[in-house]
Structure 1
Amino acid sequence: MDTLTGAAPALTDVAAAVRASLRTSTDWTDAARLVADGLRGRLPGPEILTPAQRLGDPGKVAGHLLYSEPDGSFSITAVVWRPGQATRIHDHITWCVVGVLQGVEHEELYDADLNRAGVSDNLPGEVTGFAPPGDIHRIMNTGAETAISLHVYGTDLSRVGSSARRYYEEQR
């Protein structure tokens, strides 16, 4: 999607906040921090998705590309996680900011040697951001209800297809 014409006002507000944050950023780490700060208190509700989209997919985590900035500087995606669904351990091709709209997203952070470096349970309204390097993680829904999150990536996902740069095997 390359236009906000007819978009929900909440999505228009999110895109404007991202744009404003990126005007003053100096690098990817700064962009992630500024965009996260800009989205706190501005997150839409889960109704930014249709009722059908909010159901998710029983077979996999469901991502919905909501908007890509025409100049390719960022994309906004909503991700729907049914209970028990998780990503593989991965890192990213660019900075990312995640805001939880519904449910709880459990995140496990890893160091470069794939040792677990931290764990957090992100609740509705919480916004986090990160940038490579140091962005190796896995996200899962450990709760009993569907979780929905808004992801802003520093690239045009309609062009590159995925934000993941590389997947890792879990150390046992």
Structure 2
Amino acid sequence: MSTGIDRLRDFVADATRRADREGAAGMPGPELLAAFRDLVSHDDWLPADCAVPHAAHYQQYLLHCDPLERFCIVSFVWGPGQRTPVHDHTVWGYVGMLRGEEISQRYARADDGVGYAPVGQPAHLKPGMVEALSPSEGDIHEVRNAHADRVSISVHMYGANIGAVRRSVFDPVSGRAKPFVSGYSAAQLPNIWDRSAHLRSQIDMGK
């Protein structure tokens, strides 16, 4: 059974095999969603460097990007009370809650194509819960930390290199879309491939 950083490495390998086998177009099948849900149901694998908040704004740390940019995995670290603007994604996505809680409100474009309006009630995500997003079913939302006094962390998976995708944020007054590219909060990725400590321990145990 996977533990620690092995969970992320094994999930990346599984997602890569699925992308090779099934292709990357459209929403993935339920098997990947189940595997992602299992990943975020354990809180023993996120590298500490990818869980550091910023006092002024939320952080998004790239954990892994498929070399063909078919998918990526990102940790979102929310300081107390922090929130996103209303934004879209243009690709499918999973949002999984790892620590703390967050609230997500979905929106839809108005009939005139300019403004936007809330759709349904806000989703309140708690650890282990996953929300799926799809452009075909509506992928505009606003997300905020449900806590005003502590950090929350969610893990997101997208059907692209999301930090390099041209997307839109929406003006809260006019409702008009403005293009943006999110990028990432760190220039380095965590090393999920170093298995030397485990292998050395096996040698020490005579295995």
TM-score scaled to structure 1, two decimals? 0.81
Is the 1:90–1:138 contact (alpha carbons within 8 Å) kept by the matching residues of 2? yes
Provide the residue aligned with 2:169 in structure 1: 167
Q: 1:95 to 1:32 in 2, by over 3 A?
A: farther
Cα deviation code 1:61-120 (max 9, x no counterpart): 011111111121111110100111000000013111111100101000111122111211
Instruction: Report percent identity of matched pairs.
Output: 27
What is the match of residue 115 of structure 1?
117
Gap change, CA 1:163 and 1:38, over 3 Å in 2:
farther
Q: How does 1:5-154 map to 2 (within 5 A)?
A: 8-22=5-19, 23-24=21-22, 27-28=25-26, 30-31=27-28, 34-43=31-40, 44-45=42-43, 47-50=45-48, 52-113=49-110, 114-118=116-120, 119-133=122-136, 134-143=138-147, 144-154=149-159
Asked whether the 8 Å contact 1:153–1:163 carries over to 2, the reply is no
State the secondary structure of the residue aligned to 2:28: helix
CA distance in 2, matches of 1:137, 1:32: 23
Return closer, same or farther for 1:15/1:152 CA change in 2, 3 Å cut-off: same
Instruction: Determine the structure 1 residue equivalent to 2:196.
Output: none
Shift of 1:13: 2.3
**What SS is found at the alignment partner of 1:149?**
strand
Cα distance in structure 2, aligned partners of 1:164 and 1:141: 24
Question: Structure 1's 34 and 117: CA in aligned 2 closer, same or farther, altered over 3 A?
Answer: farther
Letter in 2 for 1:48: L
Three-state SS of the structure 1 residue aligned to 2:97 is strand
CA distance in 2, matches of 1:122, 1:116: 18
Rg larger in 1 or in 2? 2
CA drift of 1:132 comes to 0.9
Matched residue type, 2:47 = L
Asked if structure 2 preserves the Cα contact closer than 8 Å seen for 1:32 and 1:130, the reply is no
5+ residue gaps in structure 2? Answer: 111-115, 175-207
Distance 1:162 1:57 in 2: 21
State whether residues 86 and 169 of structure 2, in contact with CA within 8 Å, keep that contact through their aligned partners in structure 1.
yes
Question: Please, what is the CA RMSD of the aligned residues?
Answer: 2.5
Q: Secondary structure at the match of 1:97?
A: strand
Instruction: Give the paired residue count.
Output: 161
Q: State the TM-score, normalized to the length of structure 2.
A: 0.68
Measured in 2, the distance between the counterparts of 1:13 and 1:156 equals 19
1:120 counterpart letter in structure 2: A
